[in-house]
């Protein structure tokens, strides 16, 4: 079975010290790096996404001076800034496809972005016959959730590696994981992957 690892938004602005820091973000970055050291060979495709917002404008209403932290957010992950770069604890040598999303518009799912050569994630997975994907990253209750739901919608079996995700809120993250399980995702620790 062709397998993919999808790494969602492990970026400086979402890890400790960033503009929208998630508690446990650095732990996810180092955990994913360690996982890749031992498990990268198990995957035919490894896709990593990043928010990559425009420096000017509000990115389709995504940025706000008084954000509600549901649909609007403080400025974060601006293209070309340190905040948009991968967390330095995440080693990306094994990544086969880098995806940028949110260029001028709100975007949560990595399926809303494109690879460096302009390919959609759905096309990358379909071209390689991916039938199963493990998902890790930040934030459980936003971009991980949206990416996992889109992966399922494209007919790919999803496993969320629960020790390699971190969310904005405990309750919203638990709700997101429950929603994903209801949609057909498996929830398991990376040691069982």
Per-residue model confidence as pLDDT tens digits over 88-129:
999 999 999 999 999 999 999 999 999 999 999 999 999 999
Would you place residue 168 in the very low, low, confident or very high pLDDT band (cuts 50, 70, 90)? very high
Among 13, 26, 87, 101, the active-site one is 101
Is 98 in contact with 48 (CB distance < 8 Å)? yes
Q: State yes or no: is 9 an active-site residue.
A: yes
For residue 161 the two structure tokens come to: 């590696």
User: pTM of this prediction?
Assistant: 0.97
Catalytic site residue from 13, 141, 143, 150: 143
Give dist(CA 184, CA 167) in Å, integer: 20
Longest dimension (CA), the chain: 47
**163 in catalytic set:** no
CB 156 within 8 A of CB 130: yes
- Residue boundaries of the structural domains of the chain: 2-192
Q: Which residues contact 106 (CB under 8 A, 6 or more apart)?
A: 59, 60, 61, 62, 71
Name the DSSP class of 154: T
117 annotated active-site: no
Region at 120 (left for phi over 0; alpha for psi -120 to 50; beta for the rest):
beta
pLDDT tens-place string over residues 15-43: 999 999 999 999 999 999 999 999 999 99
CATH superfamily of 2-192: Isochorismatase-like (3.40.50.850)
């Amino acid at each position: 079975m062709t397998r993919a690892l999808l790494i969602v938004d492990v970026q400086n602005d979402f890890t400790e010290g960033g503009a929208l820091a998630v508690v446990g973000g650095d732990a996810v970055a180092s955990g994913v790096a360690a996982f890749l050291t031992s498990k990268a060979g198990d995957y035919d495709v490894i896709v990593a996404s990043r928010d990559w917002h425009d420096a000017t404008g509000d990115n389709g209403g995504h940025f706000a001076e008084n954000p509600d932290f549901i649909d609007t957010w403080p400025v974060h992950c601006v293209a070309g800034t340190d905040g948009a770069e991968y967390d330095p604890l995440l080693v990306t040598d094994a990544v086969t496809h880098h995806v940028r999303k949110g260029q001028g518009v709100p975007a949560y799912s990595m399926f809303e972005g494109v690879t460096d050569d302009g390919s959609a994630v759905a096309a990358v997975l379909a071209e390689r016959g991916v039938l199963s994907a493990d998902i890790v990253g930040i934030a459980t209750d936003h971009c991980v959730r949206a990416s996992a739901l889109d992966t399922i919608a494209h007919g790919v079996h999803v496993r969320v590696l629960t020790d390699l995700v971190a969310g904005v809120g405990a309750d919203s993250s638990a709700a997101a994981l429950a929603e994903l399980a209801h949609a057909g995702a498996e929830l398991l620790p990376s040691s069982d992957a």
